Each structure stands twice: as C-alpha cells, then as structure tokens.
Amino acid sequence: MIVTILGSAAAGANAGSGCTGILVRSGMTTVLIDCGPGVVPELKRAIDVRALDAIVISHMHLDHILDLVTLRAAYRYAPVPFDGRIPLWLPPGGSEILDRLAVPLDVDHHSPLFFDQVYATAEYNPIDSLQIGELSIDFARTQHAMAAWAMRIGSRGSDAALGYSADTGPITTLATFLQGVDVLICEATLLHSDISPIDRGHLTAQEAGRLAQTCHARSLYLTHMWDELGQEQLRESAASAFSGSVEIGWPGLEISIP
C-alpha cells in the first residue's frame, strides 16, 4: 500500500494545507478517503483524477466533503471529456445531506442530478467490509458531533493495515478496532482540553499518541490540526505518549506500507 497525505488541517484549513484527504493505492486500486477543502489540488499533484476507483467519506462535516464540489467540476468541465462516474461511498444518511448540498449549488436546476452526473453514490453499511478492488475497508463508529466512522484499510494478500481515526473523541473501542495497524493516521485537533473526555468529539495530540501506543501502531501520522496550536508542539505532545515515530502529515507526504 502506498498512502499519500493530501491535507492535514482541521476545519479551518492551514497555510499550505487543506483539510483531510488521504490517497490509498494498492496495485491497480486507487481510493480517496475524505475530500475536504484544498484536497483536489494535492490529489491532482499525486494522480490523474480519472484514475480514482472510489471515494470513501468518513462523515459529512464540510471539512471532509467540501472538495467533492471542486472534484465534480474537475470531472464535469474537464476539456478532455470524462465518461463514467466515480463510485462515491458515503456514510449512512450521507446521500440526503449531499442532495441538500446540491440544491443551492446547481444553478442549472438539475438537482438532484448535480452530483450524480459524475459520482455513482451509495452508502456503505459500516457493519460490513467494503471491498474496492484490492483494498478492503472496515469501519468503527467514533465519538463525534455527528456519526463518523474510523477506518481500517487492508490490502489483498497482505497483513499490513492502515488505520484512520476520522474525527473522534477519546473512546476505548478504537484501540481495539485499530489494534496492530502498521500506520495510524490520527486526528490531533487539540493541544489541551478542559472538556471531559466523554463530552469531546476530538482528541488532544497526546491522546492521539496514547491511541497509537495502545493499539501498538508502528508509526503515527498526525492530521486534522490547527496551525494556531503549533504543529511541532502537537507532534511533541503526541510523541510524549507514543514510543514509535510521530510525524506531521504534510500534504504530499508518501507513506509506504509493505
């Protein structure tokens, strides 16, 4: 598996980094996980967007979906016509939210076809594994302001696994779900918090490190960060709780998982 970070900012986007987007490639299979604002330019830097086999969305907050609008235009109005539709896997209930998003954007009044022109939209069932070519994706519910799904991504013929926290507060079930992943891409939205863990929809960087330690990940890449908190402070805080390597998930960073 080759994993490319396409954006690692929390909701507000950072200087030089958009919001969450993770490109996962294995053999002939290419999948985009989340598509926040600022992801499309980095996606185009990494691949020909026509090569995408599918997009999978962790949850419907705008910092994880807004560039679906940009990507739609990239397909719809490309000077070289693009035939076909990209499978777009949404969380349960995601289709209705996307249909509502289309209404004010569709000045040609094709709603609800606005997104359907370029995406073959479906909702995954988080109880089941989602198979996309050589990749399989399992889901676990996180603790967040809306239903959000962490992912465990594997590749056919390999025991290697990629874990992605999506947006989450600290819950113990994630450590079980992500046990033994080689690489953990984990949100680190906060540096400190006075809010009780059970009332929180995000992790401190130190909690991200603790999660990586508890699930015995080999390496940890931080995402969903605010520039204002200082990315190096976030990295150091995560590293204080994790004995493996901790890196900032810069856009363009490529991670090889053998």
Output 25 or 202, the one with its CB closest to Zn ion.
Answer: 202
Which residues bind to Zn ion, rule: CB under 5 A?
61, 63, 167
Residue 189 Cβ vs Zn ion, minimum distance, rounded to whole Å: 8
Output 7 or 154, the one with its CB closest to Zn ion.
Answer: 7
Cβ atoms 59, 91 nearer than 8 A: yes
Output 42 or 63, the one with its CB closest to Zn ion.
Answer: 63
How far is it, in rounded angstroms, from Cα 59 to Cα 236? 28
Query: 10 Å Cβ neighbour count for 81?
Result: 8
Residue 91 Cβ vs Zn ion, minimum distance, rounded to whole Å: 11
Half-sphere exposure of 100 (CA within 13 A, CB side): 7
Output 61 or 152, the one with its CB closest to Zn ion.
Answer: 61
Residue 85 Cβ vs Zn ion, minimum distance, rounded to whole Å: 26
Pair of tokens at residue 172: 């113990």
Residue 247 Cβ vs Zn ion, minimum distance, rounded to whole Å: 20
